[in-house]
Every structure is written in C-alpha cells, then in structure tokens.
Amino acid sequence: MSTTPAPRQPIHYLDYNLPDYSPPLLITWSLVTAVISLAGNTCILVGTIKHSAIKLDTISLILIENLAVSDILNTLLVVLPGMATLSTRSALFSDNLVVCHVLSKLQYIFGVFNSLAVSIMMVNKLAILLNPISSLIRSARTGHCLALGAWVCGLVPALLYLAVGGTTVMFDTRVYRCVPNWNGAPNESLWKMMDNMKSVIFILIPFIVILTTTIWMLKFLKKLDTLRPQNIPLVLSVAILHLVSFVPFLLYVVSMNILNPPPQVKYRGDKVAQLYATAVYLNYLNTMSNPVLYYFTSASFKKYVRRSLRNLWSRDQERGSVFELNTVSSEKSGKSGAVTNNT
C-alpha cells in the first residue's frame, strides 16, 4: 500500500525590497571578503604550523590558528552562500528546510566562537603583561582546552535554536540569508527571552571583556611607553577591529529589545533594515581582516609572506624559462628534421 509523502514544509519569507544599489555593493564586499579570507587565513595556518611565522605565546598562537580555521569555514559556509543568493536575488535553498536551518545556525557558531576566542586571547595577554612568569606555566594543552571550550560554547545558541522546532526559520530578504524566526513558535515569549539571554552571555559580555582588557592594556603600556613586548600591536589590533565590527550588531540587538518597535517597523522599516544589513555585513571584517592585521603588526609574519611570494614568483619564472627552452629546442629539432628530409 503506497503512502503519499507529507508535503515539504515551506520556508517563511520576509518580504523586503532592497535598494537597487545594495546587491552589487554587497556582492562586491562578499567577494573581497572571500578572496582575502581564504588566501590570508590559509597563509596563517601554513605559516604558524610549519614555519613559526608569528612570534606569540603558546595560548595566543593556538587561538589564532583556531580563528583562522573559523574564518575559512565561515567564508565557505556563510559568506559564499550569501553571495550566491544575492547574485540570483533568490533563495537557492528555498525548497530545502534542512539546509536553511543549518545555514541559519552556522553564522551563530562562528560569531560566538570568534567573540570568545578574542576575549580569551585578550585576557591571556593582559595576564602575561601583569605577570610574565604566568606564561611559563601555561601549556599547549591549556590552549587547546580553551579553544575547544569556545567552540562548544559556539554550539550552544545553535542547539538552542534547534530545540525550538522546524517552523522557526525564515529567509530574510534584508540580508538574503536564512535566520531564526520566533514568530508563531511554541512558547514564543520564552524563546525570545532565552534569545536575549544568549545575546547577553555570548555577545555583550565578551564585548565588554574585550573593551575592558583593551583599555586596561593600553593604560598599562602607556606606563611602559612601548608597544613592543609580547607582540602587543597584533593582539590590540585584532581586539579593536573586533569591537568596531560588532558595534552595529550590538546597537541593533539593544535597540530592538529596548524600543521593541512594531513588526512593520522592525522587519520592513528602511532605517532598521539598513542598520541590520550593516551589522551583518560589517561583521565580515572579522572574517577577512586578521591576515592583513598580522602582516602590518608582526614583523616575522610579514617576512614569511614576502619570502613566500618571492619563492612563488621565482618558481613561476623558472617554469616560464623551462617552457621557453623546451619551445626553442622543439623548433630547432623541427627545422633540423625538415633539412634532413629535404636532403
């Protein structure tokens, strides 16, 4: 006896028309992010693992390597799918609720991990400045445990969203990506409260920690009148850029929860849509900026990149020379063969 399969559950669409200039601008920004992130973060991983290209304490190095992995995954699983949907101006996965669910959760995993990893790195670096001997008792195992803890915490919001149910996801045309949707979910008020708690625990508190440690570190270094010890410019630049890229998102979350505008304004108001799109896409800075910051703040990493580029250029030159020699020898052999035949 055959049974009719259950109809596929549709994905809710937030109907909002982007300005004409917005998609090309966001596509260009996404493409730049993808190129710099994939190339730069791969260079970071190869440089730190095989060539010790960045001179930092063990825990900071482990966190930097994990941040590079996170940025590469974020590029492949969030940035590029978002660029594809922007290019086609449609949800490429509109018929696949599972894919939409997965994509809506991945951005939270990478975002939370990034915030926690930078927070841990700043606290660790400040502790080393205040007590240099403490760096001697921190092993690689401690660094791996801290990184693993940050990854596990990144999974918590995703698991929380999965617990709500299959209907709570929508395709948000303000940013052309799948996002969680609480409207109409069972115990909607409870889940909204838990979502706010998630924002405080995993976004606001790490933001405050990074801001506090950055100010404290700058004041401490001002007394020393130097930024040289322990590669401080590298760590500070990562923290400051992280703060800048997260400010619009915090403004959006706080304003939506405190002002609590009506749905028509919250989901279809132009100013709110612009703030939300800025918050989402400015966060791409975290994905692509670290390789650039390391290049300008770490002399050892800059030397490694330049040496790698020179070696790459030399190999291309050698291949070109070999190709030219082979071509010339082939032409000469062809001419000599023709002369022999004529003889």
What Cα–Cα distance (Å) separates residue 209 from each residue in 40, 221, 243? 27, 18, 10
Longest dimension (CA), the chain: 97
The pTM is what?
0.84
**Cβ-contact 146, 67 below 8 angstroms:** no
Positive or negative, the Cα torsion across 311, 316, 321, 326? Answer: positive
Nearby residues of 94 by Cβ (< 8 Å), 6 or more positions away: 11, 100, 171
Residue 221's pLDDT is what? 77
- The token duo for 235 is 């760590």
Nearby residues of 216 by Cβ (< 8 Å), 6 or more positions away: 126
What Cα–Cα distance (Å) separates residue 295 from each residue in 61, 92, 227? 15, 37, 16
Nearby residues of 322 by Cβ (< 8 Å), 6 or more positions away: none
Delineate the domains of the chain, giving CATH numbers in brackets: 13-307 (1.20.1070.10)
Residue 5's pLDDT is what? 39
pLDDT in tens, the chain (343 residues): 334 434 445 567 777 777 888 889 999 999 999 999 999 999 999 999 999 899 888 999 999 999 999 999 999 999 998 898 888 876 666 557 778 878 888 888 999 999 999 999 999 988 888 887 766 667 889 999 999 999 999 998 777 766 655 457 788 888 888 887 766 666 667 777 777 777 788 888 999 999 999 999 888 777 766 545 557 888 889 999 999 998 888 888 878 877 777 777 777 778 888 888 888 899 999 999 999 999 999 989 999 999 998 988 887 666 655 555 555 555 556 555 554 555 5
Q: Which residue has the tokens 């590669």?
A: 231
